[in-house]
Structure 1
Amino acid sequence: WSADTAKAADELVKALKSSFSTGIATADWLDNSTRNNAQTKLSKYVHLLGGPENPQLYPTLTLDSKTYLKNRWNVSQVNIDTNFKLNGQPVNKRKFSRPAYIVDAEYRHCVNKVLFTASIFQAPNFDLKYDAAQNFGGIGMVIGHEITHGFDYRNRNYDGDGNLNSWWSNATNITFKTKAQCLSDQYAKFVVNSDLTGAELGNISGQLALGEAIADNGGLKTSFRAYHEYLKKFPSQYTEETGDKLFYLSFAQVRCSKNTDRYLLRSLGWKHPPSRFRVTGALQNNAEFARNGSTKRKRREFVDEYLAYSRRVKVFNRGMGGTVQALDLDSIEKAMASLKLDKKICNAESRVGRLLPDFYDKLE
């Protein structure tokens, strides 16, 4: 975590917030009152990067290498005393609630803030040497994901000050619920198969996954929009089509994983769907992605380029939940070749189901 990384991270978050604001301004299903309230909430977002600005110190604490349990007790006492002293004090929205060494990002509805640890700003999510398309497709999507969480099916009920407050008009509230139900139904159709045997393990819970599905779909669109806004100021060395491909490849690369059956079975009861469906679910509803792969030739080129890229790297990614996800390159190819895009999609704007029914198929 360097000064250059901190500056780049701050600029990325600001770019994503600006992009999300554009999304609010152009969403034709929002009425003016709800749109204004959404913009107000977004404007009050606090974003924290790297680690604590004022780390908690323990000047009076002494430790003994021979008394482990006593050390734990003493540390707990100090933490309890510190927390009791906060009672009745103003809430510190800039308190960093995660250790910097943990790969993590989060949105906190009670204080309306997004937080990104220093450890998440590393490959494959981010690198100062990466092209802008890679950083926007990787960490940019993660940032957009967390920003979108402030407007998902649960957190949308809180205002910009973190208070439970209904700021949606009745008509817009009904429209949101209709769209959310459609997304839930879409994800509920995803069948999870074993990465090892191919056996069917069960279906994703659309309702449990709804918050993450909204954040993934919104995050991807927000980051892609931010990337193209960036290109207006800093033109790419690539053609627009090549840059867009690199963006989507980076998005998928972050989610590359190979999991045990036990992990996948447990994920059926979690809010985070298996990584495969976090990629395909968002892409199914993404019109920009459809335009980038709307012909048979483009579909083949996209898959071939991904496989050529993946053979040059050793993928080893520690997932945001702390699970080590190691993936050999043969598994990448197998996974990419086996994924299918469902023709029945919820988002009427998307044409992926019609244009890309077999995008990940290697074609004949």
Structure 2
Amino acid sequence: MKAAVLNRVGDTKLELREDVSTIDVGPRDIRIQVRATGVCHSDVSAMDGTLPALAPGIIGHEGAGVVTETGAQVDHLAVGDHVIVTFVPPCGTCPNCLRGQPHLCAVHAIAAFTTPRFRVGDTPVFGYAGLGTFAEELVVPADGAVKIAEDVPFEIAALVACGVTTGVGAVVNTARVEPGADVLVIGCGGVGISVIQGARLAGAARIVAVDPVLDKHEPARRFGATHVTTPDGLAACNAELTANLGFDYAFDVVGIPATIRSAWDNARRGGTVVVVGAGRADAMVSFSAQELFLHDKRLLGSFYGGANVRRDYAKMLELWRSGRLDLSGMISKRLRLDEINDALEVLRSPGTLIRQIVSFE
């Protein structure tokens, strides 16, 4: 089959190969024919080493498709089912799952770094985050797929697999924004737009979107931002809207020290700061002991939007069906797999595309 292979961490291009195969389906595994995958900035971060990835490997972690084979012990999925995949499959029995935090389940996540799921010729190859959706087929644990209705377009389903769930979930699961709140969102890429939509859904009174790329300001307004500004204009916006008291909720959707610090500085005393962006392991953010105590702010990480995928995938799709969550409008470009390197290059530049989707139709 065809797949886009990362030969070495640090490579800026993927190699499109046609001699890729999957491992065999184990008793608790399923085989999926990938029908659509999003191109996420986290894929670029995996390639350059910002996020942990193994090479050689197949990148891609945001996808949807059709089950074509099931293992002997799989009883909740069947051949022909349409599914969304997740890069954090909940095992259902570990301490994190049992305490109601299935997005922190490490059982399958650890296996993703020890168990190659592809072969290029005779060479074992890993799937990024246990998936590798830049391939025509996957073999994954059955825990890593959630059945959806057959009338959901695969491109819409793929968005839910990562970006939308991460962004909306950060608002409704992690921060639990209440109606009437003032919300600040730093970063207006695909996940940032999802945070904006989540804040709108939660009933925020004012949603301030911040991005240095001016061409991202109109889409931010379209998806729900009441105000938009550049980082240089944020101080004036804070002064005008809050009299410098700060915002109730500040979301960093970039993941670098400067933007995390900006989110903190622009949140009010007693407010909530949520770090959604995926940063480097060696990127350090400094806070004084006094300000942590004195300002009484909550500083929260939000991994995968605190999602329970078996609950939240269905919720996102119901919000889409009702017209309250705009997913179609987030798809800015449709691609073929052989255009994947062009798509990744866009993400490395301050482009205006919200989400590029590779279709295997």
Instruction: Classify the TM-score, shorter chain.
Output: under 0.3
Larger radius of gyration: 1
TM-score of the aligned structures, taking structure 2 as reference length: 0.24
* Higher strand fraction (1 or 2): 2
TM-score, normalising length: structure 1: 0.24
Higher helix share: 1
